[in-house]
Structures are given as structure tokens and as C-alpha cells.
Structure 1
Amino acid sequence: MNNVGAGVIFLVGLFMISWGLVLVGLVLSKKMRFNREKMSTFECGFEPLSSARQAFCLRFFLLAIIFVVFDVEMALLIPYMLTIGEFMASSTRVYVFIFVGVLLVGLLHEYNEGSLDWAV
């Protein structure tokens, strides 16, 4: 058998495996019962089946902002942690400690305020 014939057999085999996996996925993903709640879109922070004029959940918004702040904190602190053993100016260390201190004060404020207690 030449290289062209082997390539065609290989492509046909890949095609059959791909379509077989697609068919298995379609068969396994069939839902038995449809209801309005499961078929509706999911939006965080409010009930999807209630009135559209309801106020947005402020607690969810604050928790999302806290997550973003600490996510950005990690992005800013990872380069510092990777270079902690190398030569670094003392002013850089002071700036990092001030940055972490401000974040800790903010975290303590959020904790005392009760914003971190999601399940009330």
C-alpha cells in the first residue's frame, strides 16, 4: 500500500471516530424532562424568573469586587515573590509592604462590616 492509500484510510478512520464521539455526546446529553427553570439562562446576583425591574443584589456585587481586588493583588505580588531572593531595592520592599498593609486593612474592614458573610 502506498502513502496516499494509508493517508486516506487514516483520514477516514479519524472521520469515523469524530462522528462516533459526536453521536455518543448527542445521545448522552438528551434531557428527559424540560422545565422553565432549567431551560432559562443563568445570571448571577438575581433570580432569572422574577421581575426584570428588581434591584440587583448589592451583596453579590460587593463580593465580586472583593474577588477582583484580590485577584489583581495576586497578579501584582507574584513577580515580587519570584524575585524575593534576588537583589531588590529596599524602597520596593517598603512599597510592597504598604500595598499589602492597605489590602489587609481593607479586608479587615470588609470582615467587620459583614460583607464576607455570604450566607446570612
Structure 2
Amino acid sequence: MVPVLFSLGLSVLFLSLSSFLSQKWRYEKEKLTSFECGFDPMSSSRTPFSLRFFLLALLFLVFDLEMLLLFPYIFSVSSVSVSMGVLSKVWAFVFLVILVAGLYHELNEGTLDWNKE
């Protein structure tokens, strides 16, 4: 218990000492703007990020990982098709049904419709 309290006290001491001795940062206009070769920026560099693009990228990652999880099953089916049980085939089919149901839901929701305003 004593080493833990000693470490905690030493950490608090170093944090307070560093904040006391450090330079205070001033947030001026020059420090908050982006640097463009020494010139003032033409427009704000903090443009809003498209949520539609983010959702599309997230969906791509999800479906890509799901397909990656199917690769071992696909390769094992071609080599040992006879020895695979019915239960493994049912689980692979359920996995594909969930994948297609998710894609159908995204199509109905309009997430994949890029031109929709």
C-alpha cells in the first residue's frame, strides 16, 4: 500500500511542478490557424466532414471484415467437403444471411445512396 501511495504522490508532485514551471500557452489567431507557406489561409481549414462518406467507409470495413471471416470457410469447403458437418454449413449460411440482411437494411435506409440530399 505504501509504494502505491508513494508513486501516486510522486506523480501528483511531478504533474503540478511541470504545470507550474511550464510556459503558459496563449491561444492567438496565428496559433489556431493552419500554416499555408507563411500566407494567411484563403478559407477555413476546418471544413465539416461528410457523415455519408464516414458511414460508407464504416460499412465497407464491416462488410470487408465479414468477407475476410468467410475466406477460411471457403478454402476448407473445397478441400474437405465430405468431412464437414451439416452444422458448420448451417452456421456459414446463417452468417451469409446476416450479411445480406445488413446490406438490405442499408439499402432501404438510403445509406448507400450517394446522391441523396
> Normalized against structure 1, the TM-score is what?
0.53
Where structure 2 has 5 or more consecutive residues not aligned to the other structure, the ranges are 1-35, 37-41
**In 1, Cα distance between equivalents of 2:108 and 2:115:** 15
Runs (4 or more) in structure 1 with deviation over 4 Å come to none
Cα deviation digits, residues 50-93 of structure 1 (max 9, x gap): 53554421101110011001111121111111111312122211
Q: How far does the alpha carbon of each residue in 1:78-120 deviate from its partner, in whole angstroms, 9 at most, with x for none?
A: 1111111312122211111111111111100101111111133
Q: Distance in 1 between matches of 2:112 and 2:103?
A: 9
Structure 1 distance, partners of 2:107, 2:56, is 11
Residue identity in the other structure for 1:77: L
**Count of aligned residue pairs for this structure pair:** 73
Aligned-CA RMSD value: 2.1
Q: Sequence identity, in percent?
A: 49
Aligned residue among 54, 61, 66 for 1:68:
61
Match of 2:109 in 1: 113
The corresponding residue for 2:22 is none
The residue aligned with 1:100 is 96
Bigger shift: residues 94-103 or 80-89:
80-89
Kindly provide the amino acid, as one letter, of the partner of residue 62 in structure 1: L
| Higher RCO (Cα < 8 Å, 6 or more apart) | 2
Matched, 1:59 2:55: no
Counterpart amino acid of residue 88 in structure 2: T
C-alpha distance in 2 between matches for 1:96 and 1:50: 51
Query: Aligned AA for 1:94?
Result: V
* Alpha-carbon distance in structure 2 between the residues aligned to 1:50 and 1:67: 31
